[in-house]
Structure 1
């Protein structure tokens, strides 16, 4: 294999970083960029670099404060990026087995554990059923002995090789053995972390209805219900039952960092489902928070629904005013409604870090849109004065800011 001096390597020495997470997160991004750049020229070299990086990662960041979740998320994203690079590399079996030995040792020595997520991809990293079977043969006796002992004694048992073993059994196609082994883990309670592999095994055998029942039976205290819903939804979608998948699982299975992202994710999965139906279903799941879906409706071109939602519960006034500004020329009637609603919420005391600039921006957007919609200026000013008088919380502030603008 070509000798190459990786730039990231000296930066990821043991305890290279202090407790702050900003620098190591940036260094992780830089390392990924370096490895991906090499992938285009030499995939095998890139894969070897990916293994080296994962070996060095946990010892380098073991002192970093992980309480915010930022460093953990960065590591998980790195694993998701690097696993395909390693698994797709065309190398001799001896080389791959050496990589796996190094990665498994890194997993064993990681006490945080930052690299735990890597176990989920163990079967993929094996690249062939034969190598996966070898790892299953190596790891499964330990789990069998441990869980049999725990079942007899009532003690708790844990092994860092558990998920790699289950993943390897799945990749090797040894589905019945996998289900039997997972059953041994349930001497105390059912863990979805383990049972997801049993559910995958059933689905791989074509037993889709049984796989969904198996997954549903995994529900209980402290169980990630969204993860179970995602699995069941995926099984139904793969089977061509999109309507059933949507009705039973789509809303529970799909969660993103913003309402807009959540809505777009569901629309992407269900392109034949009317966007308005999806959005109304999402809104119905969060009664009292209708206004928070304004941006999703606006971005989807559902302008009447957007205004309806904004008037049913508070929406961010800055978002409303921004929409009024952006659509003043293209959709002036919508812009007037959005801007007036935004000014209403400003006068009612909603919004964060509101200044006179926000009020003036709202007024300017509304008046520009009103002109485009052929609404007389005098009529708009009357409506604005009425809006201010009706809101006692912050109406005086808005009135003072717009006093000169609203003069007869």
Structure 2
């Protein structure tokens, strides 16, 4: 095992990278691919490689500009990927303890610190309650002394092993000690960063209601409300209280980069809840933003609801135009309505950098849908003219673009 030559190793020498983050991000991704490939056949070797990589990582990227957050996010993803590879392998206790010492030294020597996130998984890395308990015994006195001092002086304290200590106490099953220790941190305010471990401990002890209340009491300025709601939701789901979890936390606990992705995420968690119910609840949670849920409704096949939403508040005209074009033959009535709503939106000034090409695309999609429905072309043109007239000044630009089409 010791003679294996990892391809990533020479690339991660100390200060191997300059200030630009593109190359180190790519090198980290390549290292993960290499380690995961080895893990399929030789999990012990892969675990050793993961430890080696994490040892070499921080010194190698010390000079990289982290202001964009890209390198930090990549490192966190790498940690999250490698922890199971290290934790799940069956290895002698002496070997695991050596790995933990190496990782601990890497955390202590990390000046940025990039490896701070590793502490969240310390109990998991210990892989056995007795090892986790040993680490808790080593770390807890320092954490206790720090928080006692902070409470008496009002000063702020920091110890790199704090989260690792809490994680180790949790993994060791020393839940009462964990809760008592976290209470010492609340000399100024209640931080979810620490209290999450107390909430998890209460849930592990079977104290479901207490765990949820404990989590709810963690809410405050600058605390991650989505993460707190997600924890409470998870407690209820794990206990089989699906309806309660949905009613209390589904909307608050689920966030994705787009409304469509958010809808899909909630629907995946709650397959027993009708999708239309989920969508309407999500829409209701954002009053005045109904049009932004058009794509989610369309993707779910709720075509009438999609048009209803698009007509309640601004929807992106280009999204409407794409829908009109894509569904002109399969769902011509929906496509016709989407295209006409796009016209209305354009004339009201919705959308960014709308051009004449967009107007022509909308008209083409409407006419294509009309043909699929068997609607007379003259009728469609009259409807477009009526919409332009009703819009007043806003319709003048659309009228100029479609002057030739509407005159025929």
TM-score (norm 1): 0.96
- Say yes or no: does 1:222 pair with 2:222: yes
Q: CA deviation at 1:175?
A: 0.7
Q: CA deviation at 1:286?
A: 1.2
Say which SS state the counterpart of residue 104 (structure 1) adopts: helix
- Say yes or no: does 1:397 pair with 2:393: no
Q: Corresponding residue for 1:383?
A: 383
Contact 1:349 1:393 in 2 (8 A): no
Counterpart-to-counterpart distance in 2, 1:353 and 1:45: 55
Q: Corresponding residue for 2:125?
A: 125
- Say yes or no: does 1:67 pair with 2:67: yes
Q: CA RMSD in A?
A: 1.5
**What are the residue-to-residue correspondences of 1:203-222 with 2, within 5 Å?**
203-222=203-222
Q: CA deviation at 1:293?
A: 0.5
Name structure 2 gaps, 5 residues minimum: none
Counterpart-to-counterpart distance in 2, 1:188 and 1:79: 31
**What are the residue-to-residue correspondences of 1:183-222 with 2, within 5 Å?**
183-222=183-222
Name structure 1 gaps, 5 residues minimum: none
Counterpart-to-counterpart distance in 1, 2:382 and 2:18: 60
Say which SS state the counterpart of residue 209 (structure 2) adopts: helix
Counterpart-to-counterpart distance in 1, 2:243 and 2:98: 46
Counterpart-to-counterpart distance in 1, 2:178 and 2:5: 41
Counterpart-to-counterpart distance in 2, 1:339 and 1:45: 58
- Greater shift after overlay, 341-350 or 96-105? 341-350
Flag as ranges the 4+ runs of structure 1 deviating above 4 A. none
Q: CA deviation at 1:300?
A: 0.9
CA 1:239–1:61 in structure 2 vs 1: closer, same or farther (change >3 Å)? same
- Aligned pair count reads 408
- Say yes or no: does 1:347 pair with 2:347: yes
- Say yes or no: does 1:9 pair with 2:9: yes
Q: Corresponding residue for 2:307?
A: 307
Counterpart-to-counterpart distance in 1, 2:182 and 2:321: 55
- 1:308-335 per-residue CA deviation (whole Å, 9 max, x = no partner) reads 0001111111111111111111111011
**What are the residue-to-residue correspondences of 1:329-340 with 2, within 5 Å?**
329-340=329-340
Counterpart-to-counterpart distance in 1, 2:371 and 2:213: 60
Say which SS state the counterpart of residue 155 (structure 1) adopts: coil
CA 1:9–1:354 in structure 2 vs 1: closer, same or farther (change >3 Å)? farther
Counterpart-to-counterpart distance in 1, 2:396 and 2:313: 22
Q: Corresponding residue for 1:39?
A: 39
**What are the residue-to-residue correspondences of 1:250-261 with 2, within 5 Å?**
250-261=250-261
Contact 1:348 1:392 in 2 (8 A): no
Q: CA deviation at 1:177?
A: 1.0
Counterpart-to-counterpart distance in 2, 1:13 and 1:108: 18
